[in-house]
């Protein structure tokens, strides 16, 4: 239920979402603030020299760098976080935090929407983080990719696998290894 957000739908679009009390609007307001807080972490990490990986990395990095240039030279602690929040607000509206990658959702380029009809937002169950132009992978996602690679390597030691199973596991291992390498290169590279 949680993985496919059924619990969220039941609580916020079902019985509670139909209330005239304003509960749903309050939940959406808090969700927006959370997205903005997550984007502030992206900005602060970028200022500290962190790099991004994944198909959306160049686009998001360029946007964050542009905002940094607009703010000019800043002290280590930004005095006017409200101004920064305002500058990041439009980008924050597209941010959907994920386990394997964060989605900066653009319906025109979303790979998940090409597999489904009638969807209005990102479909996390159909996410392809190494292929979708909206996916951005950071160091925060590394433990999940590392665990995936380790599990694939462990399963490949099994002698009773069919060639098809072995091939798929090998592809998964290679994909996870590429993502991990990209994250690790970004962490050891000098700042922007």
Q: Residue 48: is its pLDDT beyond 90?
A: no
Query: Chain-wide mean pLDDT for the chain?
Result: 82
Question: What pLDDT is recorded for position 20?
Answer: 65
Mean pLDDT within 108-133: 88
Q: Please state the separation of Cα 153 from the chain's center in Å.
A: 25
Q: Are 186 and 52 in contact (CB under 8 A)?
A: yes
Annotate 142-160 with DSSP letters as a single string. HHHHHHHHHHHHHHHT-TT
pLDDT-derived band at 110, boundaries 50, 70, 90: very high
- pTM (2 decimals)? 0.74
Residue 119, pLDDT > 90, answer: no
Cα–Cα distance for residue pair 8/24, rounded to 1 Å = 11
Pairwise CA distance, residues 192 & 176, whole Å: 25
DSSP H stretches of helix in 13-161: 23-47, 57-71, 81-92, 142-156
More reliable by pLDDT, 187 or 105: 105
Q: Say what the pLDDT of residue 75 is.
A: 55
């Amino acid at each position: 239920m949680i993985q496919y957000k059924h619990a969220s739908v039941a609580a916020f679009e079902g019985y509670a979402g139909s209330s005239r009390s304003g509960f749903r609007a309050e939940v959406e307001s808090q969700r927006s603030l959370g997205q903005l807080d997550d984007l502030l972490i992206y900005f602060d990490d970028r200022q500290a020299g962190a790099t991004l990986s994944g198909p959306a990395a160049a686009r998001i990095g360029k946007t964050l760098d542009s905002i940094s240039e607009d703010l000019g030279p800043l002290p280590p602690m930004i005095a006017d976080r409200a101004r920064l929040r305002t500058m990041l607000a439009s980008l924050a509206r597209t941010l959907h935090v994920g386990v394997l990658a964060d989605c900066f959702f653009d319906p025109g380029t979303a790979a998940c929407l090409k597999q489904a009809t009638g969807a209005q937002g990102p479909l996390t169950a159909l996410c392809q983080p190494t292929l979708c132009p909206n996916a951005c992978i950071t160091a925060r996602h590394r433990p999940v990719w590392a665990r995936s690679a380790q599990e694939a390597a462990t399963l490949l030691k099994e002698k009773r696998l069919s060639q098809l199973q072995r091939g798929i596991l090998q592809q998964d291992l290679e994909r996870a290894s590429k993502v991990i390498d990209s994250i690790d290169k970004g962490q050891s590279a000098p700042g922007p």
